[in-house]
Amino acid sequence: MTCTVGGTRQKLSMIASVTNQGKARWMIIDGAFSADRRIEFMGALIRDAGKKVFLILDSLRVHHGRPVKKWAEEHKEQIGLFYLPLQSRTEPGGASEC
């Protein structure tokens, strides 16, 4: 997302999650999304959860990076990462892809 503030362009990124009970968590990032910001967000999720977090991630390259996987391995008692398939396919006659 790019916003114009006071005549200048500003790039903001957002990361969000929703629990199985509908509780939403989000973080606005000034600039590009990085592994450090992903790890910061996951740290906040496990601090607030009080139990193990099961996090489903899409195929964004940052999510598959070595720093994120290393951090998740070090915190595997508190968080489990699950990845969506890299490419979704539809059945013939099914809903079209966007």
Count of domains for the chain: 1
Q: Tell whether 91 is covered by a domain.
A: no
Does residue 14 sit within a domain? yes
Displacement of CA 33 from its chain's centroid (Å): 10
Phi-psi region of 50 (alpha: psi -120 to 50; beta: other; left: phi over 0): left
> Which range, 4-8, 28-32, 77-81, 87-91, is most confident?
77-81
Residue 43 backbone dihedrals phi, psi, to 5 degrees: -60, -45
Range of the domain at 40: 2-83
Q: CA 88, CA 8: separation in Å to the nearest integer?
A: 38
Q: Note the pTM of the prediction, 2 decimals.
A: 0.74
Token pair 């989000």 is found at 26
More confident residue, 9 or 1: 9
Percent of the chain with pLDDT over 70: 80
* Domain contains 89: no
Among residues 93, 40, 36, 84, which one has the least CA distance to residue 58? 84
Q: d(Cα 35, Cα 11) in Å, to the nearest integer? A: 17
Is 28 a member of any domain?
Answer: yes
Reported as a single tens digit per residue, the pLDDT across 7-53 is 677 788 899 999 988 999 999 998 888 999 999 999 999 998 989 99
| pLDDT top residue among 63 and 1 | 63
Indicate which CATH number applies to the domain containing 79: 3.30.420.10
Asked if residue 96 belongs to a domain, the reply is no
